[in-house]
Chain A
Amino acid sequence: GAVVSQHPSRVICKSGTSVKIECRSLDFQATTMFWYRQFPKQSLMLMATSNEGSKATYEQGVEKDKFLINHASLTLSTLTVTSAHPEDSSFYICSAYHSMNTEAFFGQGTRLTVV
């Protein structure tokens, strides 16, 4: 099946710094990718929809200036957490759709810890 690769799988950063997470569709083109956030023992919550070549669409309550999304190519979307704080510590997961079907493929997730 289609593969979505997310990198890094784990990152620890200092409070106030920025962290970039990459999401790549390895064997298909994805015009749309999605970024989710998951707190411990909770569900995945949609943060934003990443659209290739245009601005991302953010869900209500998600700060667009804090969570910068760039989808510069059909196989890569990036999420940058700017000026990270401990409350941003979470599990971030991306997903992408293969244009030929309706199944969403998920990356392996990134565990962000802000100290």
Chain B
Amino acid sequence: QKEVEQDPGPLSVPEGAIVSLNCTYSNSAFQYFMWYRQYSRKGPELLMYTYSSGNKEDGRFTAQVDKSSKYISLFIRDSQPSDSATYLCAMTYTGRRALTFGSGTRLQVQP
């Protein structure tokens, strides 16, 4: 079993839709949770960084962490074609700076 599970998609939505991306994890030691956006053949770009359970909002993006269920989500409101990319969840814990990534979800926002 992988430490971090993420539905690979692809996920296709119309412009303006609300997108929900999710990851589950098995290692209860994970404390820090991140969402990265990766365009084709580019390095990942950090979107959201959360530590505790609950919600964190930044513009059109909301990150949600439920440690009791070992489940994290990223919501994108008013999705745009420029949001089309692969979204990777990543996580780590105190004392470990390397990240454990999910497999990534490919998102396509149709104009």
Contacts and interface: CB of A to CB of B under 8 A. Distances in A.
A106 B43 contact: yes
The main secondary structure of chain A at its interface with chain B is: strand
Interface string A23-54: 00000000010101000011111100100000
A81 to B, nearest CB: 18
Contacts of B98: 34, 46, 49
A96 to B, nearest CB: 10
Nearest to A105: B46
Contacts of B61: none
Contacts of B43: 4, 6, 93, 106-109
A44 B88 contact: yes
A43 B88 contact: yes
Contacts of B16: none
A102 interface: yes
Given A97-B97, A103-B49, A108 B102 contact: no
B20 to A, nearest CB: 19
Contacts of B8: 41
A108 B42 contact: yes
| Interface size class, chain A | 20 to 34
A105 B103 CA distance: 19
A111 interface: yes
Contacts of A104: 34, 46, 97, 99
Interface string A78-115: 00000000000001010101000011111111010000
Nearest to A35: B98
B82 to A, nearest CB: 18
Contacts of A49: 97-98
Contacts of A36: 101
Contacts of B100: 46
Nearest to B106: A41
A93 B29 CA distance: 25
A111 to B, nearest CB: 6
